[in-house]
Structure 1
């Protein structure tokens, strides 16, 4: 404990004295906010739907540029983990492009499409409605903005933790191209091509193709082969039209993502769990660090197709008034087999087939009433539907029999969501140096869900509506052009719904209710030493109410079922810092830090009564379990980063060297039972107190060291570059996702070990 506190304090001190920036940023569609001074070379962000510089935005936000992603040879947004204060992005193999995103300790690690994220991922203005599909490729990204804290006003429900806003490059309207090839460890390689064509002023098109594949960094000991292989393609076209002499522009983007991968899991089952009695001794009781990279499971494959279309249109109604329309369509088709027990014995193998489609439409008007009052108002509509068919081979001991042949009573789930909202966000510079920001959003969500089985028929069905108003208010003061102080209050809302794994009519038709977060924040943004140092600090307190959590209770054909219910709350508070120090024209230091304290309150749920010799269970089979002593998941007490970038001019171009260190203290990945004490009356079990999560779902301390060197040079009239890189050079080994399953078995997935490679690219 003392050692961890000392490490955190030292890193925080470093962040506060020589800091860098995970740039606090905002951007927009309207004119710059009143009194906002012009900044040469300032970072502009779009997350607040109006044009603001990073340092003039009164909110905690970080901006990650293309250069930062390229210096790390980033494959997807998961490589941002630890780079922005309080941000975690980890991958889980239970779904295609599935991500566990956490900001300020708020997350929900579930890949079922009837469940909604706590952190929104927005791509070119379109919100991705499920955890699957959120782990976006880092290819062709212009800038990523990480907004920390509830973003209910402008982004709506299901952003109680924050938003990762991804902005891809627009067609340049000029002829040009960029091509790149990368090769690395585990026979990992990728090829990228981006071509721009246009007439230079009114019309242009961008075409791209991206392919990546790897043999995987796991080893399957049963089959003596690499495991965790993957192969993916992303391609599309985007057309931008700006009629000459008009205040109108339109951009249409059509794209397709195709992915195949091995959804490998590592066996973490121990002797206290049922499955350990059926598997080989060497496969039971393994650790959650170095052992994670050796697997034993049966072959499995996931195939994923995700076409999408986006149409953005901007109408300039006046010099300071603009109407924006963003229409989005996304579809996901998945077919995945998976050996969930991760052992060489055929105990739990599934075949999941899913389809998901979402359509969204946003209309917003941005402008000014006077020189010191600007606004963004709008409407939003979203609808989605999905269906799941799952065949399960449970205790089949028949690996050659297809799951849908073995399972004559396959599960079917159908879900539908319809949402609409009205929102407004306003800035009023009511006196010199002072600005009041305020707004709100009224949202309504309607959810439907039906559970059924092939032969036993329908389990149950539910239909419910949820409405919420989420306000936000803030005040900022700029005593001079280099200083801004601010304070704000915002409320986040995550809609209710139904339990996709419910196995009785009563639980399937009973909705869980919305959860909310009330967040209070104060902060400062400073430009110091003639703007050579940008230093930003924010403190926050979040009140998390009516939490949605999965619990296991008796019921259904297997005896137990998992349902989502509302329980207790949590208090989260912390301090975040980020800064950039330009030491010389050729040397830049950036740093971030997040110190967070969190705890549950009143987290009591009804769980299935345990079987204990000499004790009896109540007639209902359910007893209250108190989890208030457990840690929140994906909520490290400290995380921070330091990044040093050096540019060396040469006779042939320049050499850019980038060194990065990310420190993440241990965190838990699942609410689970590590140890518990039973409460009894006589021989009757009346309850249990849980004293922490299972140790197998806890990561180790992560010190992730990344290094790259890029040589930029000319080949005739073509810009070329060669980059060598290494990630996780300290070879930290731990899980990115781990799960225990109701006393039956446990499994996990591993963090990418030390890797290295090289990139060759040209652009013209």
Structure 2
């Protein structure tokens, strides 16, 4: 009966999208950007023409506020990245965006398939469990991806990328409390043509990717097919076999159909599937004093957290992930308003084994199976009440279901303990929203809006023979936003804003006790204040943007791993842990001082701190007594104090085409990767335990990343050909990508990509 009810809800949502499509189809210009980009025969975009004929820097059109606006007139902190920039640097995936915008981190979580840890302005939630909501929303073609798994995306066939910093709850939803990465892929062009790329690099890494466009009915029906493949042997070395490990194989393929029976209606249907097979690898960073080190060979404990990470001692592991998806977008211009309907269904299955003790001794081994699917439906209307008063209004529905089945074997006990956990969770969200722009004068504009969201979550959990009762969480929130911008002239805009963000409460899907499985955590909220200045100077040879912000987070949700006397000896749960204050300054620029030379750069500065972060738990499995623990002095995770980047691009015309050189430097200050008590500190035997800092082993060292590429572009008949040689992380800066410690038991980490290099060939026709 439950499955039937769930399917009925999905059917209703899909039927709603169908009805809207039918309605707009009877009447027969969609969102200007959507339809224009879809049917423009040339396919030219700002990515193809970043500078005007006079050498000035063209402004980029963005849709950050669900409207078509130029970057320099959008009153929010946003970075827009032209696809040509990514292509010139041989960018492969979303992780290569790290450093492209201030106060933005994007790392790969190897505990889940294609899983992304995304942090914007110090806000992240680094967990692949499907019961937890992301803090940064990743949107692909207007669809919110409801889990960190599957969000580490391939970058090819991209039309635009926008990184919005700060809460975006009004237009993008409840779980965008940290910000949004808004990705739009290209649409069928309606002309026969294609784009293909092949590359080979270090660690036997090679990729082949292609897009083929073709008309079916001229000017009415167009098709696009795409296929991406990327594989590598991995950059770890298994000390027991002497071979490389950490291999991966990624496939992403599908097709789109664009139906444009008239100039004011467009219907775009995309079918796709993502498949990934990889070898999960963890590096052992346990040390003397932790229980696992008593069972492991001496040379596998007390290792450093830099170069040692690349040599591992692990049992055979594997992961298989498959995720089909359907997206259907319909756009209609009714003259008095523009309607948009986006209907989406995404599903995922994954099976993963993992050696969590990361040693040659089989101590902690898990087999995790997960199923997840989501359906969403968004309806929007955009238009003008008057010439100086415009609007975007709409409604949103989201529903998901996940199931976790995990078997864990621990050999610390005699006989070995095998624990099985089965969790089933449901989530539903309904929202209505509106966003309005009122031009008070030609130079002064007031923007305001809000979103009302209602969330409902269910959780049912079984651990071994213990079936815990099913529980339900309900919560609602209104998240408003107000901003004002002033343009004293055409070159300068100043703005100020206040917004409230919200992330839904729910249940800890990996709770293993009655209390942790049935006790909900509440929502977290943020009040964010921001002022900014955007300038176009020296006849648009320099674009410079700067902003300052202050964010006050309340009832902050925090993932914590605590020891237990049952099950596998520990559990990961989420609780509300007080408040946090984050403030900072961000700046970015684009400069074209002379012909053919372009500089881009950014810098971000963060200060953060917890307040009243008080929880209950044990210091370690060896000291299981429940204590009051004060984490108020520790740092937020994935929140480096400084992030900075500068990139230089120089192109030289030649008889055969042009040669282009790119040199980019990124600096990321050290940052913590987990809230965890410092095992090196001494604590009193009674009373409150005050944690002075997070465990030093979960701290990333500062990173100095240098990337260099050289491209030659030329034409062969009517084909554009590009050959690129590249090196990423030229300085071979090594260290942790993620780290985790379980108090008193063991600790492990993964390593970031070392120096790599390769060559890439691209053909476009």
Rounded to whole Å, the distance in 2 between the matches of 1:611 and 1:108 is: 25
The corresponding residue for 1:550 is 559
- Displacement after TM superposition at 1:29 (Å): 7.0
Equivalents in 2 of 1:656, 1:679: separation in Å? 58
Residue from 585, 595, 599 that aligns with 1:575: 585
Equivalent residue, structure 1, for 2:500:
491
Query: Which whole-Å CA distance do the structure 2 matches of 1:601 and 1:506 have between them?
Result: 25
In the TM superposition, what are the counterparts of 1:444-483 in structure 2 within 5 Å? 444-454=454-464, 456-483=465-492
Q: 2:245: which partner in 1?
A: 227
- The answer to whether structure 1 residue 287 and structure 2 residue 304 are counterparts is yes
How do 1:429-448 and structure 2 match up within 5 A?
A: 429-448=439-458
SS of 1:139 mapped into structure 2? coil
Match of 2:88 in 1: 71
CA 1:593/1:624 → structure 2, altered by over 3 Å: closer, same or farther? same
Q: How does 1:331-410 map to 2 (within 5 A)?
A: 331-395=347-411, 409-410=419-420
User: What residue in structure 2 maps to residue 673 of structure 1?
Assistant: 677
Match of 2:220 in 1: 202
1:724 aligns with 2:725: yes
Specify whether residues 566 and 676 from structure 1 end up closer, same or farther in structure 2 by C-alpha distance, changes over 3 A only: farther
Relative distance call for 1:586 and 1:281 in structure 2 (3 A) is same
Whole-Å Cα distance in 2 between the matches of residues 290 and 409 of structure 1? 34
Task: Determine which of 653, 658, 680 is the counterpart of 1:649.
Answer: 653
Corresponding residue SS for 2:553:
strand
CA contact (8 A) 1:279 1:343 kept: yes
Q: Which moved more, 1:481-490 or 1:408-417?
A: 408-417
Establish whether residue 42 from structure 1 lines up as the match of residue 59 from structure 2.
yes
Distance across 2 between alignment mates of 1:234 and 1:515: 35
Partners of 2:579 and 2:611 within 8 A in 1: yes
Report the counterpart of residue 73 of structure 2 in structure 1.
56
The CA deviation at 1:509 is 1.3
Q: Does 1:179 align with 2:196?
A: yes
2:595 to 581, 585, 596: 585
**Are the counterparts in 1 of residues 569 and 621 from structure 2 also a CA contact under 8 Å?**
no
Q: What is the aligned counterpart of 2:294 among 277, 280, 284?
A: 277
Q: Displacement of 1:489 after TM fit?
A: 0.3
In the other structure, the counterpart of 2:531 is: 522
Q: Mark the CA change 1:298 to 1:555 in structure 2 (over 3 Å): closer, same or farther.
A: closer
Structure 2: how far apart are the matches of 1:44 and 1:609? 53
CA shift digits 1:311-364 (9 cap, x unpaired) = 00011111x510100001100110111111110100011111111000000001
List structure 1 segments (4+ residues) > 3 angstroms apart after TM superposition.
26-31, 38-41, 406-409, 553-562, 609-613, 675-680
Structure 2 residues not aligned, in runs of 5+: 1-30, 37-51
Which residue of the partner structure matches residue 22 of structure 2? none
Q: Residue 310 of structure 1: which of 327, 343, 354 is its match?
A: 327
> Do 1:679 and 1:686's aligned partners in 2 also have CA atoms closer than 8 Å?
no
Residues 212, 544 of structure 1: alpha-carbon distance in 2 compared, 3 angstrom cutoff: same
Distance 1:462 1:70 in 2: 49
TM-aligned CA distance change 1:379 to 1:730, over 3 Å: same
Aligned residues: 715
Cα displacement (A) at 1:47: 2.1
Q: 1:30–1:321: 8 Å Cα contact kept in structure 2?
A: no
Rate the CA distance shift 1:391–1:675 in 2: closer, same or farther, 3 A.
closer
> Structure 1 residues 752 and 679 mapped into 2: Cα distance closer, same or farther (>3 Å)?
closer
TM-score by length of 1: 0.91
TM-score, reference length from structure 2: 0.91
1:321 is matched with which residue? 337
**Structure 2 residue 224 is matched with structure 1 residue 215:** no
> Is the CA contact 2:57–2:541 (under 8 Å) kept in the aligned structure 1?
no
Give the Å deviation of 1:27. Answer: 10
2 CA distance for matches of 1:612 and 1:346? 20
Structure 1, unmatched stretches of 5+, are 1-25, 32-37
> 1:715 and 1:497, CA in 2 relative to 1: closer, same or farther beyond 3 A?
same
SS at match of 2:436: strand
The Cα offsets for residues 727-746 of structure 1, whole Å up to 9 and x where unpaired, read as: 00010001111000122111
1 CA distance for matches of 2:332 and 2:457?
34
Deviation at residue 658 of structure 1 after TM alignment: 0.7
Q: Give the secondary structure class of the aligned counterpart of 1:410.
A: strand
Q: Secondary structure at the match of 1:685?
A: coil
Contact 2:391 2:436 in 1 (8 A): yes
Query: 1:416 matched to which residue of 2?
Result: 426
1:556 Cα deviation from its structure 2 partner: 3.7
Distance 2:662 2:289 in 1: 47
* Residue 30 of structure 1, CA deviation: 11
SS of alignment partner, residue 675 of structure 2: coil
Give SS of 1:68's match. helix
Q: Could you tell me how far apart the structure 2 residues matched to 1:679 and 1:665 are?
A: 29
Per-residue displacement from partner, 1:225-251 (whole Å, max 9, x unpaired)? 10110011111001111113x521100
Evaluate the alpha carbon distance shift between residue 292 and residue 611 of structure 1 in structure 2; reply closer, same or farther with a 3 A threshold.
Answer: closer
Aligned partners of 1:234 and 1:107: how far apart in 2? 26
